[in-house]
């Protein structure tokens, strides 16, 4: 299942990642600089088991 990144204010699509598992997400987001990651205001995840 994929992970869809969307701007929460503008609803603009940012990226679609192939995998939503935590190791893949950590590897992806750690590619951004520390300064860029500090600009993240919130993160919302659907925790639906299906």
Confirm if 46 and 37 have CB atoms less than 8 A apart.
Answer: no
Where residue 50 falls among pLDDT bands split at 50, 70, 90?
low
* 13: DSSP letter: E
Please state, in angstroms and rounded to a whole number, the distance separating the CA atoms of residues 50 and 7: 24
| 13 Cβ contact list (under 8 Å, min separation 6) | 4, 5, 6
19's tokens: 């995998």
Please state, in angstroms and rounded to a whole number, the distance separating the CA atoms of residues 44 and 8: 9
pLDDT digits (tens, 9 = 90+) for 3-36: 898 988 899 999 999 988 889 999 999 999 999 9
């Amino acid at each position: 299942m994929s992970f869809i990144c969307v701007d929460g204010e503008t609803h603009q699509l940012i990226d679609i990642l192939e995998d939503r598992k935590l190791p893949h997400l950590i590897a992806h987001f750690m590619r951004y600089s520390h300064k860029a990651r500090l600009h993240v205001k919130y993160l919302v995840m659907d925790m639906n088991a299906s």
